[in-house]
Amino acid sequence: MSENMVQITLRQQKDYLFDVDFGGGIPVLAADEPVPLGSGQGPSPVQLLAAAVGNCLSDSLLFALRKFKQAPEPMECTVSAEVGRNDDNRLRVLKMTAVLRLGVAAASLQHLDRVLDQFEAYCTVTQSVGQGIAIELQVIDAEGVRLK
């Protein structure tokens, strides 16, 4: 497999409960649908999608700030996924909202305006998902000031 390919394996355990094997010594993750379809023994596919978007945004912002030797820790990201019916009455993720919270005041970070203007463009997952699902992003500093 090439270095540009990511592969995971899902193995059904029971009903909608699957083990997600990432390989490479990464612990296996249980994924499941919520009740009543599944038993809720792990994150649902929508939760995994939201986690991927939030993780990628967080990583991208952290990487961009660290390039300028800035320390925004501890960071936090909350992602909300709005699930509803499309025109064909099928359940879909209609919109996602990500809120990134810096662990420090914006005033303590150099080059923050430049970073905020650019970091999203380098987020592989969010840019890919965003081609089909609207993603709203907010960045807030430790003092509660909305920066983006």
Provide the mean pLDDT of the chain. Answer: 96
Q: Which whole number is the average pLDDT over 55-70?
A: 97
- For the stretch 22-31, pLDDT in tens is 999 999 999 9
**pLDDT at residue number 3:** 73
77: helix, coil or strand? strand
Task: Say if residue 2's pLDDT is above 80.
Answer: no
Show Cβ contacts of residue 18 under 8 Å, excluding neighbours closer than 6 positions. Answer: 10, 11, 12, 30, 31, 32
Residue 1 has pLDDT above 60, yes or no: no
Q: Is the peptide bond before 36 cis (omega within 30 degrees of 0)?
A: yes
* pLDDT tens sequence across 70-95: 999 999 999 999 999 999 999 999 99
> Whole-model pTM?
0.92
Average pLDDT over residues 5-9: 94
Cis peptide before 74 (omega within 30 of 0): yes
